[in-house]
Structure 1
Amino acid sequence: MKLLIFRTILIYLCVLFAMRLMGKRQLGELQPEELVSTMLISNLASISIESEEVPITASLIPLFLIAGLELLGSVLSFHSQRFSNLVAGRPKTVILNGQIDQQALRMLRLTAADLLEALRGKDVYDPRDVAYAVIETNGSLSVARKPDKETPTLADLGLAVQQQKATLPFVVDGQVLTDNLTACGKNAAWLEQTAAAHRLPVDQILVLLGNDTQDYFLLKKESRPGDGGKGAAG
Structure 2
Amino acid sequence: MKHNELKTKNELQEKSLFDKTVGRRSFLQYAGAGAAGIALVAAGCKKDRGYENPVMGGATLDFKDDFGVLNYAYALEQLEAAFYVKVASAPPASFTAAQKAYFQDIQFHEIAHREFFKAALSTAAIGSLEVDFSKIDFTSATSVLSTAMTFEDLGVAAYNGAGPRIKDGGYLLLAGKIVSVEARHAAYIRDLISNGSFADLNSLSAFGSNNAGGLDGALTPDKVLPLAQPFIKTKISAINL
TM-score by length of 1: 0.24
Query: Which structure is larger by alpha-carbon Rg, 1 or 2?
Result: 1
The structure carrying a bigger strand percent of its residues is 1
Greater RCO, 1 or 2 (C-alpha within 8 Å, sep 6+)? 2
The structure carrying a bigger helix percent of its residues is 2
